[in-house]
């Protein structure tokens, strides 16, 4: 993910191969050079071809040695958007330790490690970190215990990071969208329902991306701390 010199600010978006990450990359590309993080090389390459100033940066965020190598050449970063994530829907009694490790590794540990690696670059730019959380990061409910635990942890991480990095000018925003029309949502629907999937019941990925852009482009005298929203009536 080495960054080439440019007059435009630089953003890195994880989970950029699809869904909220891809929609966010498309919006930010109007004003930023964008590094497209993710595992799907073909999807990242296709998206980069659409967006001037965008480059695919394929990496598995849980391969920490590869992750460190991939960001080693970034001296300055204006925006870091954490959009990558996984979900498990099951009763707590049915979730083995290996699944806890998998979900927490992607949703929390990888976020913390990538941010740690990029803090010098974010501090140099007085940059902004946006963490895509979930309504499950505000309230736990049956069958969503593991996912909620990961998102509550992500919320706590963001709150502490915000306070610790304030002296360096780094701003941190948690975004809490309600259910959104993504591939992940379709997978969840298949587990929960036997009816027809109706995308109009959910937020559009572009709507979530607009919220992220709002946090990124907030005036310098403001820090957007939390953004929570859900599908309209």
Give the list of residues 6+ apart from residue 155 with CB closer than 8 angstroms, or none. 133, 137, 138, 174
C-alpha to C-alpha distances, 116 to 3, 73, 120, 144, 167, nearest whole angstrom: 18, 15, 8, 28, 16
* H helical segments located in 127-233: 145-165, 183-192, 205-216
Angle, in degrees to the nearest 10, between helices 64-71 and 110-125: 10
CB-based burial of residue 131 (10 Å sphere; 0-12 exposed, 13-18 middle, 19+ buried)?
Answer: buried
Q: Which residues are catalytic?
A: 147
């Amino acid at each position: 993910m080495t960054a080439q010199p440019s007059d435009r600010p630089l953003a890195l978006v994880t989970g950029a191969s699809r869904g909220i990450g891809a929609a966010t990359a498309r919006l930010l590309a109007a004003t930023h050079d964008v590094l497209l993080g993710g595992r799907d090389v073909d999807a990242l390459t296709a998206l980069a071809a659409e967006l001037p100033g965008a480059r695919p940066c394929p990496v598995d965020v849980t391969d920490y040695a590869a992750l460190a190598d991939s960001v080693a050449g970034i001296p300055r970063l204006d925006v870091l958007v954490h959009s990558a994530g996984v979900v498990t829907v099951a009763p707590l009694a049915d979730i083995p330790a290996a699944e806890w490790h998998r979900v927490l590794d992607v949703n929390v540990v990888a976020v913390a490690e990538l941010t740690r690696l990029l803090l010098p670059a974010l501090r140099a730019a007085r940059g902004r970190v946006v963490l895509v959380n979930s309504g499950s990061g505000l309230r736990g409910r049956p069958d969503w215990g593991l996912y909620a635990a990961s998102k509550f942890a992500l919320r706590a991480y963001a709150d502490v990071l915000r306070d610790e990095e304030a002296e360096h000018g780094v701003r941190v925003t948690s975004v809490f969208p309600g259910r959104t029309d993504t591939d992940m949502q379709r997978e969840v629907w298949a587990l929960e329902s036997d009816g027809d999937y109706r995308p109009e019941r959910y937020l559009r990925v572009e709507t979530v991306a607009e919220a992220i852009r709002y946090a990124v482009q907030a005036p310098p005298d403001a820090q957007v701390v939390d953004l929570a929203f859900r599908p309209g009536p």
